[in-house]
Amino acid sequence: MGKLNLAVAGDGAVSISGEITFFTVNDVLSVDIFAGCSDVKINFSGVTHSDSSGLALMVHWLRAAKEREVSLTFEAIPEKLKALAMVSSLDDVLPLA
């Protein structure tokens, strides 16, 4: 089983790395990535594998950002995750950079 890591900088820069799966996604759900920020950018360049849990995580963060009135952007999204978003008709909803 893989590992999932999240690095949160105070300036709203967030980096996620490792494998986003059903088994690892709970490792990052409780982390408050929006604390004290009005603009958050989540960089997925370190993600080595993702299943549909990655898409669910993105939707979770999008909802949390809207509730807190925080601008959110997803960056360097793996192609497989982009394809899942397109197939799920979420590519128009998710802030993909």
Tell me if 45 is assigned to some domain. Answer: yes
Q: How confident is the model at residue 1 (pLDDT cuts 50, 70, 90)?
A: low
Tell me if 68 is assigned to some domain. Answer: yes
pLDDT tens string 76-90: 999 999 999 889 888
pTM above 0.85, yes or no: yes
Q: For residue 94, what pLDDT is reported? A: 81
Tell me if 96 is assigned to some domain. Answer: no
Q: Tell me, what CATH number does 23's domain have?
A: 3.30.750.24
Please calculate the CA angle 2-14-33 and round it to the nearest 5 degrees: 95
Containing structural domain, residue 72: 4-87
Give 8's contacts (C-beta < 8 A, 6+ positions apart): 14, 31, 33
pLDDT tens string 40-84: 999 999 999 999 999 999 999 999 999 999 999 999 999 999 999
**Residue % of the chain over a pLDDT of 90:** 74
| Domain total in the chain | 1
Q: For residue 15, what pLDDT is reported? A: 97
Tell me if 47 is assigned to some domain. Answer: yes
Tell me the sheet residues that pair with 76. none
